[in-house]
Amino acid sequence: MQARLEAIYICEKAGDSLRSVSSVMALAGQGLEGDRYCRGRGTWSHWPGDGRQLTLVEASVAARIERDFGVLAASLRRNLVVAGVSLNELVGGAFSIGEVQLRGVRLCDPCAYLEKITVPGVAEALAQRGGLRADILVGGKLKVGDQLSGC
């Protein structure tokens, strides 16, 4: 199975519900156009360090969380849902989704906030499977169905 982008989620400010979009502009060094982190309005926007431009989660992990806890992918607070790739293996590496070039910065471990807004047990179930934080090296348009390469 070729790795591909299954879903895109953005929201304007911390605490808002994420909404699904079929495409979005990824802005190099900033984030996804219209998303809270691109605008500096995310929960973690003002913390130091790289890896705050976008987040990814594996589709298989999101499906398991929905099955086991009834929590939808959008409620996991990750921007991109991808299939056919192990995100943990992309930490420290460069990869592409369609025309957009990214760098995997670190794992996106679940936080207490996620557990607070979902249900007990979700954060523990996502330990070491919470996804990936990435920075945008070369921007462009992301579209659902785009292929991943370099993974």
| pLDDT band (50, 70, 90) for residue 144 | very high
* Cβ contacts of 130 within 8 Å, gap of 6 or more: 57, 61, 107, 108, 109, 110
Query: Does residue 38 register a pLDDT over 80?
Result: no
Report the C-alpha dihedral over residues 42, 45, 49, 50, rounded to 10 degrees.
50
Q: Which of 68, 62, 66, 99 is nearest to 82 (CA)?
A: 62
Q: Residue 33: how many CB atoms within 10 A of its CB? A: 16
Query: Does residue 42 register a pLDDT over 90?
Result: no
Q: Two tokens at 78?
A: 């990750």
What pLDDT sits at residue 126? 87
| Partners of residue 57 on adjacent β-strands | 81
Q: Two tokens at 33?
A: 């156009």
Percent of the chain at pLDDT > 70 equals 91
What pLDDT sits at residue 45? 55
What pLDDT sits at residue 48? 57
Instruction: Give the residue numbers spanning the domain of 145.
Output: 4-149
Residue type, 44: W
When mean pLDDT is compared across 4-13, 30-39, 64-73, 84-93, the lowest value belongs to 30-39
Q: Which helix (H) or strand (E) holds 19?
A: strand 19-21
Q: Per-residue pLDDT tens for 98-130? A: 999 999 999 988 777 777 778 888 888 888 888
What pLDDT sits at residue 124? 87
Report the number of distinct structural domains present in the chain: 1
Average pLDDT value for residue range 14-24: 89
- Say whether pTM exceeds 0.85: yes
Please report, for the domain that includes residue 48, its CATH number.
2.40.33.20
Mean residue pLDDT of the chain comes to: 89
Q: Two tokens at 114?
A: 């996620």
Distance CA 140, CA 100 (A): 5
